[in-house]
Amino acid sequence: MGLTLAIESSSINYGVTLDGAETVLRRDDPSFTSIGGLVQTTLDEAGHTAADIALIAVNLGPGNLSSVRAGVAYANGLAFSLGRQVVGLHGLRVLAYTAAPDTDLPVLCLRNAGAGNVYAAVYERGRATLMRHDKLSEIAAEVRAAHSALIVAGSFRDQAIALLDGVDVTDSGVEVPSSLATYRLTVTPPADADWAPADVVSPINEQTAPFTGEIP
């Protein structure tokens, strides 16, 4: 049975997980060369070659646009060269699982969208019950009306907590998603079927959810 490779490039922390072993390196680290270099280093340290990879999973964002594009392009290129398939997962979903994989509480996930906006989603046991791109204050008002308790993950957690007055909020302390979460969602999702990953898609393109606007 071949290996599963998971790639995370939606933030400054690039991550590669190879069959459960995670390597993380900031892209501003002097030793960082490329996502491909990080994958090769991980393979070398594990005593494997790219030919041993059977499946590739990647975070589709949202996140840093150029970084997400680099990760997806690399995943597509590697899959094409090896004749393998790719699983693409929504970045906010990966963030929710990174922050709180086993909770029954809703998880509010936030990523910076620029111009004073955020990408936001609320996940309840893996199912998105809210997916928005808006001002944080507008999103907080909607979340406050719908939930009495939740966990917050991602960007602007302090600001979100301040805006969610009257809600019992737990700060997850998690800023960005991990490649390990992408790996686990792909290979060993929890028994709750809502956490099951998206269908295998290869190659990833503009017709791939979430680019089509579908809520995962």
| Cis peptide upstream of residue 210 (ω within 30 degrees of 0) | yes
pLDDT digits (tens, 9 = 90+) for 72-110: 999 999 999 999 999 999 999 999 999 998 889 999 999
| pLDDT over threshold 80, residue 194 | no
Domain boundaries, the chain: 3-91+177-195, 92-171
CATH number, domain 92-171: 3.30.420.40
Domains 3-91+177-195 and 92-171 agree in fold: yes
State the Cα torsion 40-190-132-115 to the nearest 10°: -30
Tell me what the pLDDT averaged over the chain comes to: 89
The single-letter code of the amino acid at 84 is R
Looking at residue 107, its pLDDT comes to 97
Can you tell me the distance from the alpha carbon of 214 to that of 171, in angstroms, rounded to the nearest whole number? 28
**CATH fourth-level superfamily of 3-91+177-195:** ATPase, nucleotide binding domain (3.30.420.40)
- Nearest to 198, CA basis, from 210, 213, 180: 210
Strands 53-59 and 85-89: parallel
| pLDDT over threshold 60, residue 185 | yes
| pLDDT over threshold 70, residue 150 | yes
Q: How many CA atoms lie within 13 A of 59 on its CB side?
A: 35
Tokens of 20: 């459960």
95 — alpha (psi -120 to 50), left (phi > 0) or beta? alpha
Can you tell me the distance from the alpha carbon of 62 to that of 154, in angstroms, rounded to the nearest whole number? 11
- Integer CA distances (angstroms), 63 to 9, 70, 159, 188, in order: 8, 12, 19, 24
Can you tell me the distance from the alpha carbon of 29 to that of 13, in angstroms, rounded to the nearest whole number? 10
| Cis peptide upstream of residue 189 (ω within 30 degrees of 0) | no
| pLDDT over threshold 70, residue 111 | yes
Beta carbons of 30 and 46 less than 8 angstroms apart: no
Looking at residue 206, its pLDDT comes to 65
Looking at residue 192, its pLDDT comes to 58
- Nearest to 107, CA basis, from 90, 121, 91: 121
pLDDT digits (tens, 9 = 90+) for 129-147: 999 999 999 999 999 999 9
Beta carbons of 111 and 62 less than 8 angstroms apart: yes
The single-letter code of the amino acid at 210 is P
